[in-house]
């Protein structure tokens, strides 16, 4: 099983600041990495796939990068609606998908 590790567990920032979230895979997943956002009380939604491709309707302030085992999600200038929990997911070994444990992005 490919293990996904996200850091930090919690990130406290202010609106307008830049956020960088990290995700590490226990073995190479190529570019088969997705990011999901889950707002409180809501279902998750797809943000990024292929490590760096934004899903339909996702604002340009969200960007993904990385390949192999190291990935990051960057939010260039935080908006109030961006405070949520973010999960990375590998699908290199699909259908045996695995998720990271999540990073909670909270308002400082």
Partner 1 sequence: EVQLVESGGGLVEPGGSLRVSCAASGIKFIDAWMTWVRQAPGEGLEWVGRIKSKGGGETTDYAAPVKGRFTISRDDSQSTVYLQMNSLKPEDTAVYYCTTVSSVANPVFGNWGQGVLVTVSS
CB of 6 to partner 1, least distance (A): 9
Residues 87-106, mask of contacts with partner 1 (x by CB under 8 A)? x-x-x--xxxxxxxxx----
Q: What secondary structure letter does DSSP report for 96?
A: S
Tell me how far the alpha carbon of residue 32 is from its chain's centroid. Answer: 13
Closer residue to partner 1, CB minimum distance, 27 or 53: 53
Burial letters 64-84, b for 16+ CB under 10 A, else e: bebeebebbbebeebeeebbb
Q: Which of these ranges, 13-21, 60-68, 73-81, 83-91, lies near partner 1 under the rule CB under 8 A?
A: 83-91
Strand stretches in the chain, DSSP E: 4-7, 10-13, 19-25, 33-38, 45-49, 53-54, 62-67, 70-75, 85-90, 98-99, 103-107
Please tell me the count of residues contacting partner 1 according to CB under 8 A: 23
Closer residue to partner 1, CB minimum distance, 5 or 77: 5
The pairing of beta strand 4-7 with beta strand 19-25: antiparallel
- Contacts (CB under 8 A) with partner 1, residues 13-72: 34, 36, 43-46, 49-50, 53, 55
Binding footprint of partner 1 on the chain (CB under 8 A):
1, 34, 36, 43-46, 49-50, 53, 55, 87, 89, 91, 94-102
């Amino acid at each position: 099983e490919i293990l996904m590790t996200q850091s930090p567990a919690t990130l406290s920032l202010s609106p307008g600041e830049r956020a960088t979230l990290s995700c590490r895979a226990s073995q190479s997943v190529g570019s088969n990495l997705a990011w999901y956002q889950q707002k409180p009380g809501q279902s998750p939604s797809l943000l990024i796939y292929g490590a760096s491709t934004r899903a339909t309707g996702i604002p340009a302030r969200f960007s993904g990068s990385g390949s192999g085992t190291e990935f990051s999600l960057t939010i260039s200038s935080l908006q109030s609606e961006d405070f949520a929990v973010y999960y990375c997911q590998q699908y290199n070994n699909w259908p045996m998908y695995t998720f990271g444990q999540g990073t909670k992005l909270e308002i400082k």
